[in-house]
Amino acid sequence: MSAAIDDFLAMLAAERGAAANTLAAYRRDLEGAEQLVGQLDTISSERLGKVAKAWAEFAPSTIARKSSALRQFFSFLVDEGHRNDDPSHALPRPLPRRPLPKILSHAEVDQLFSRAESDAGTNSPARVRMLVLLELLYGSGLRATELVSLPVSAVPRDAPFLTVTGKGGQARMVPVSNRAKQAISKWLALSGGNSGYLFPSGKGHLTRIRLYQLLKELAVRAELDPSKVSPHVLRHAFATHLLEGGADLRVLQTMLGHADIATTQIYTHVDSARLVSLVNERHPLAERGTSD
């Protein structure tokens, strides 16, 4: 494979702070393209255009991602003086529609919490842990990986915040409700607090796969369709319900750890009715009434 790919990935890691998973995804896309059409650092635009046929069976979103990786790579080669031309104009340009996130209603979230709180009332460590996981997914909007890998040191003492390390190693502070703090205290007392992780398992921490399984099991006990419940769906519910309650989009961006506010804006679709009502009721022109 091209040594230029290694140089490009090193740049992403050093200058953009790209996470390991992101770097691995870029490598797969770039090396996969090289297997299809040959060395990318010397390829012609005519040869590069052949990837469109090879990618024909992929979803538009997949093609867009692969094309984006290649465009960034060729831009890097030009910037570094490794190429005088950028052949990326030959790449396909699909226009994928970003799917809207799955959303849980307030009633469905209430069902989950009612079941989790009832289960935790037995003082079973596993059930108390489940309540804490649910509190932090829906109450703080954490990603699955962020949640399962939380160190005990991230738990707040006096301040109502958790310090979370998100994508790209970026740290941020997220709010923790009083009820979540109470559940965490109960869990720490039951778990013994002998691990460096808030949710220890074996020699490490709870896995993302196990977190998914636990949520599905909770959904079944709460008499909800388990296919509707996942860590990401609860993160979506956190964002959606905050926006419905009047949260500022920039504040929401910070809490979710989004680098680009365009990512956060997807949640605005859920509140279109409220926004229309807000304009009709609060806009200065609303007081002027309508003309006959």
- Is residue 235 flagged as an active site residue? yes
Query: Which candidate in 115, 235, 236, 241 is catalytic?
Result: 235
63 in Cβ contact with 54 (< 8 Å):
no
58 in Cβ contact with 64 (< 8 Å):
no
- Please provide the DSSP assignment of 209-274 as one string: HHHHHHHHHHHHHTTS-GGG--HHHHHHHHHHHHHHTT--HHHHHHHHT-SSHHHHGGGGGGGHHH
Q: Tokens 């504040």 label which residue? A: 251
CA-CA distance, 220 to 216, in Å (whole number)? 6
CA-CA distance, 157 to 153, in Å (whole number)? 9
CA-CA distance, 195 to 250, in Å (whole number)? 35
CA-CA distance, 183 to 128, in Å (whole number)? 7
* Residue 81 per-residue DSSP state: T
CA-CA distance, 146 to 230, in Å (whole number)? 14
Query: Which candidate in 143, 205, 236, 241 is catalytic?
Result: 143
- List the structure tokens of 136: 């932090």
- Please provide the DSSP assignment of 150-204 as one string: -BGGGS-SSSSEEEEE-GGG-EEEEE--HHHHHHHHHHHHHH-S-SSBSSEETTE
Q: Is the dihedral of CA 183, 186, 190, 191 positive or negative?
A: positive
Query: Which candidate in 27, 71, 167, 186 is catalytic?
Result: 167
- Is residue 232 flagged as an active site residue? yes
- Is residue 82 flagged as an active site residue? no
Please identify every residue annotated as catalytic: 143, 167, 232, 235, 258, 267
